A = this chain, B = another copy of it.
Amino acid sequence: MNKAVRPSRPQTRRQRVEEKEQAIIAAARAVFGKNGFDKAKIAEIAKRAGVAEGTVYLYFENKNALLLAVATEFYDRLTHDAAEGIKSLPDTKSRLAFLARHHVERVAAEWPMLSTAMMPFKASDEYRQTEGYQLNRTYVEVFDQVIRDGINRGDIRTDVPLSVMRDIFYGGLEYGARTLRMRPDRADLDETVDQMMQILSVGMLVKPAAVDTDGGAADAVLDRLEKIATRLETTAATTD
């Protein structure tokens, strides 16, 4: 039934195995995402992956392990791309903007899977001891590092704990992502993320508002105004 596909025929045995594992994970992600973990059937995952039911159990201990594999793959990529993305960005604000854009993009795309399938990893009181928690921990560590860096640079206010910032950042973004998903048009993703960042960055950044905590952007305004003033002064002096 599955004629050997010529061009991309996997060479080594190991490659073939990995390919199949990937196929199962991909199928699982789709099926878990459709109606959640509990309603997902191994049979459907197997069919989608093009393998027999029993084969799934050759690659994964059980349904839970399969979910963990899906989650791991998802988070690994998420974390990797996040870390990679901020490398070239110089300032805190643009880094946060990138992380926001990146997160919303991925979360919006995988929302069904995330919201339902991964619940088992989040629900319990012992969440912190689960692998799911650890995955998430590693991911948000990228954000945490940006914030810590920002604090060192004097960009980030220090009167609010990192954990609070993190919760608002990701919590807000996730709600936003969900709202986005419910709309027919996704074209406004960029705009929405911008708007979210306008609120978030004002709340987290320091600079100008250092005085009254107010919006962060005021800093920039003041900076520029100061420069203009200086120029004016210079001009005035010259004019004199």
Contact = CB atoms under 8 A, between A and B. Distances in A.
Main secondary structure of the interface of A (DSSP, over half): helix
A89 interface: no
Nearest to A215: B213
A18 interface: no
A214 interface: yes
Interface stretch (A5-13, A143-151, A203-211): A203-211
Contacts of A165: 199
Given A179-B163, A192-B164, A199-B168, A216 B157 contact: yes
A159 B198 contact: yes
B219 A218 contact: no
23 contacts: A112-B125, A116-B123, A157-B217, A159-B195, A168-B168, A168-B175, A198-B214, A198-B216, A199-B203, A202-B203, A202-B215, A202-B218, A208-B215, A208-B221, A210-B218, A212-B218, A214-B218, A215-B218, A221-B222, A225-B225, A225-B228, A233-B235, A235-B236
Q: Which 4 residue pairs spanning A and B have beta carbons closest together?
A: A214-B217, A171-B175, A38-B38, A168-B172
